[in-house]
Amino acid sequence: MCTLAHVLEAAGLSTVVFASMREVAEKMSPPRVLYCEFPLGRPLGKPLDAAFQREVLARGLALLAANGPVLETHPEVIEAQEAPLVCAMPPRFDPDVPPAVDEARGLRAAYDRALAARGVTGVGRVIDADAVPAALEALHRWARGASWKDVALPGKNTVAVAHDIRSYYEEAATELATGPTPGGGAAEAWFFDTTEAGRTMLAARKALQDQGAPFPFWFYMAPAHR
Amino acid sequence: MIGDVAPRHFAFADNQPDTVSELRLDTGPACAAELKADAVDVVLLTPV
């Protein structure tokens, strides 16, 4: 982002960087930086709070009046909230399929409502919503000891499939979650800590590691700290 | 404070090669040209 600022400035545009990593901004020294200690993924701090977002933008735009390189810090710090979303989940329905498969099927109506409401979806890098249960079934079998070389994963690319499954779940959750606006880490915590799919994904990731699968195959299926 | 919001916005993947050479020599300047074609004066860069 700081590199891009230099490139755009060289072309005659004026830039303001809203930085989330102070050390990088200091090292790269683009002309105008507002360092904001907000949760990653929330560059303007507070979702659905137009007044707060406008204040952040105004603070950044005010840097256009500065002459030399300037790095200011937004005075408010917002910590990531790791408490999981509060989200109703479908009860167990078909005891003959793995829990994650049952769960994903049960979330389909909510996913469809979310898609209709938003008009866009993050699902579809390598699999569509129809394939999510089958992908979870393959992950379940890996987690239970099947070799990743013997049991094919729909979509093949483990990292992209993990992205599609998480998108499916988190978009469905937007239709089901209740309570106040969730914190920055709430959806991730909900997925990995409370859903069958999240547990299955982490178990499959561990199984891949134990089976000696290449590092990039399994490591990037989940955030590094998990 | 601002006249208008530009008709387009641009996004870049974070996982650039170490030299950032494409961004510096290819995609970055191409993005600048597109922004200027849209009569953009100021660019706000945000991470996601």
ipTM: 0.95
**Residue A57 placed within a domain:** yes
Whole-prediction pTM value?
0.73
**Residue A28 placed within a domain:** yes
User: Are A30 and A118 contained in the same domain?
Assistant: no
Q: Domain boundary residue among A30, A49, A73?
A: A73
Q: What is the mean pLDDT of each run of 10 residues along chain B (48 residues)?
A: 90 85 94 97 93
pLDDT lower than 50: segments of chain A: none
User: Are A91 and A185 contained in the same domain?
Assistant: yes
8 Å CB contact of B46 and A43: yes
8 Å CB contact of B45 and A17: yes
**Residue A130 placed within a domain:** yes
Q: Domain boundary residue among A73, A103, A125?
A: A73
**Residue A226 placed within a domain:** no
A20 chain-B contacts, CB cut-off 8 A: 47
B36 chain-A contacts, CB cut-off 8 A: 11-13
Per-residue pLDDT of A71-128, as tens digits, reads 999 999 998 777 888 898 999 999 999 999 999 999 999 999 999 999 999 999 999 9
User: Are A61 and A159 contained in the same domain?
Assistant: no
8 Å CB contact of B33 and A11: yes
User: Are A149 and A53 contained in the same domain?
Assistant: no
Residue carrying structure tokens 């090669």:
B17
The number of folded domains in chain A is 2
Q: Is A198 exposed, middle or buried (0-12, 13-18, 19+ CB in 10 A)?
A: buried
Instruction: Please list, in sequence order, all residues whose beta carbon lies within 8 angstroms of the beta carbon of residue A184, skipping any fewer than 6 positions away.
Output: A38, A39, A40, A41, A42, A78, A80, A81
Q: Does B30 touch chain A (CB under 8 A)?
A: no
Of A54, A29, A24, nearest to A40 by C-alpha is A24
A13 chain-B contacts, CB cut-off 8 A: 32, 35-36, 40-43
Q: How far is B6 from chain A (nearest CA, A)?
A: 13
What is the 8-class DSSP label of residue A210? H
- Cβ atoms of A31 and A15 closer than 8 Å: yes
Domain containing residue A158: 86-221
User: Are A7 and A32 contained in the same domain?
Assistant: yes
B13 chain-A contacts, CB cut-off 8 A: none
User: Are A148 and A214 contained in the same domain?
Assistant: yes
